[in-house]
Structure 1
């Protein structure tokens, strides 16, 4: 029987240096795309996919994330007193239920693999999802829900979401090799973390920030030496695990916005705003005014 995925890990310990000075006192995961923090978008995606336990790997100065996923009695009492039921319902919708959120610390910035390893005691001996909040996946159904379908169809194993990029960009990412395509899913034949040369990349399919992993990954991370950038890379641990377990890829249906990058963050705001019927008409008009003053665009 396929073990269900009920736990998701969210690495949120990064310093957000690419967004200074905005992230000097505010966690980068709390920057908003329209009116939702980036971390809320990832949690909502996980909840849609059936996740029941949300594990946040935090660092220093990240208390705002924990506060965001808690009740705020003063605010709620004020909204209730003023009869703002829509706002109250919106706050309640975004909250995990009591006991569904766990927080642990990554004391040093040693890489994504190390951040995942920090969650090992909370996750336990169960398969789990891993979502990188910086990567906003604009899709319906959500990217993780699409991955769950692949996981169930193939009877378990490990699943990685991918997307195509231009060949001159593959050196910036983890890259996978693909075979045995079935619709948008395939078997992964190999992985390379940030290949230095184009000929070292097995394809132009990059790992895009969503994973379903078996718990054996923790042992592989623990014995992993620092890799690209001097960090403990999750890709290197997955390469070792591939010798023992199958890995499947999914070229998911949707668009990825890298909200750790200024251009990606702005693009995500535009895309999600245009998808909102409550603000899209006014936003389109505002965009026309902006673009009319920039004929060179």
Structure 2
């Protein structure tokens, strides 16, 4: 289906915004309707042509490994009860891709998390999906990046125009327009103030990276927050290879905060006829909706 077969998922964060729920449950395993948040990203990677998924995890993340593994006891119970449809659904999760796991022993930033996956991804271009960002699109967003890479070569990052108040939360790109929605990245600044920002085009949640990124990560000094910033490594990569920015087609649901996760849950519920009616019924009961 494409030239990119490996996708890396940084998933070692502590999830402090969701405490106490995330004291024992990985943030990536919080439910979004009927599946955990991270499931959506893995599904996107698979639908983009990836056959190998690498999770960078940390202490307390065993539930991710268990979720994508076989559950023989559960499978047997479902078969004994004649629940073949549920059986097939459970088995399909473990057969989505080949899964590998590597531990990030310290929370040293996104760049360090990507570096932890070097042994799995050093042989060619690879995808990176940040599971907090659930992307809803007709063509998977990672697939959109793959198609641009196959046409123009080089690394590709997903871009989104953010509001002035959000600029300081992201890596912001200085760009040179190439064609509709496609930009050559000239510079990247991690979490600038609005006055320092070269644009409002933020790098969000999806990357397709050259294996040369590992060389730059190895030689990187700690940046913002004393961490290894992936943005800084990509900025360094610009000196030797082209990096493209793509304003992707789709909707990003930011599940990294309680407010964002709630909005994402409501958005997904509105796409489901039964859940949409349940939501409207509740709003009518509370006097918050007239019809």
What SS does the aligned partner of 1:75 have?
helix
- 2:35 corresponds in structure 1 to 36
CA shift, 1:284, in A, is 3.5
- 2:24 corresponds in structure 1 to 25
After superposition, give the CA deviation of every residue in 1:129-163 in whole Å (9 maximum; x if it has no partner).
Answer: 00000111122222111111211121x21000011
CA shift, 1:178, in A, is 2.1
Is the CA contact 1:76–1:88 (under 8 Å) kept in the aligned structure 2?
Answer: yes
The 10-residue stretch of structure 1 (33-42 or 185-194) with the greater mean CA deviation from structure 2:
185-194
Cα 1:41–1:288 change in 2 (3 A) is farther
Structure-to-structure mapping, 1:160-199, within 5 angstroms? 160-195=157-192, 197-199=193-195
> Is 1:213 aligned to 2:212, yes or no?
no
Structure-to-structure mapping, 1:145-160, within 5 angstroms? 145-154=143-152, 156-160=153-157
TM-score normalized by the length of structure 2: 0.94
CA RMSD of aligned residues (A): 1.7
TM-score normalized by the length of structure 1: 0.93
What SS does the aligned partner of 1:23 have?
helix
> Is 1:225 aligned to 2:224, yes or no?
no
CA shift, 1:280, in A, is 3.2
- 1:112 corresponds in structure 2 to 110
Name stretches of at least 5 consecutive residues in structure 2 with no aligned partner. Answer: none
What SS does the aligned partner of 2:108 have?
coil
Cα 1:42–1:97 change in 2 (3 A) is closer
Aligned equivalents of 1:190, 1:294: Cα separation in 2: 48
- 1:265 corresponds in structure 2 to 261
Aligned equivalents of 1:113, 1:235: Cα separation in 2: 8
> Is 1:243 aligned to 2:233, yes or no?
no
Aligned equivalents of 2:284, 2:218: Cα separation in 1: 52
CA shift, 1:89, in A, is 1.8
Aligned equivalents of 2:64, 2:280: Cα separation in 1: 31
Cα 1:169–1:92 change in 2 (3 A) is same
User: How many residues in Structure 1 have an aligned counterpart in Structure 2?
Assistant: 289
CA shift, 1:180, in A, is 2.3
Pick from 103, 116, 127 the counterpart of residue 129 of structure 1: 127
Is the CA contact 2:170–2:190 (under 8 Å) kept in the aligned structure 1?
Answer: yes
Cα 1:280–1:57 change in 2 (3 A) is same
Structure-to-structure mapping, 1:41-52, within 5 angstroms? 41-52=40-51
CA shift, 1:94, in A, is 2.1
After superposition, give the CA deviation of every residue in 1:208-241 in whole Å (9 maximum; x if it has no partner).
Answer: 1100000000010011011011110000000000
Structure-to-structure mapping, 1:30-109, within 5 angstroms? 30-96=29-95, 100-109=98-107
Cα 1:59–1:204 change in 2 (3 A) is same
CA shift, 1:254, in A, is 1.4
CA shift, 1:288, in A, is 4.2
Aligned equivalents of 1:218, 1:270: Cα separation in 2: 39
Aligned equivalents of 2:270, 2:230: Cα separation in 1: 34
Aligned equivalents of 2:217, 2:230: Cα separation in 1: 7
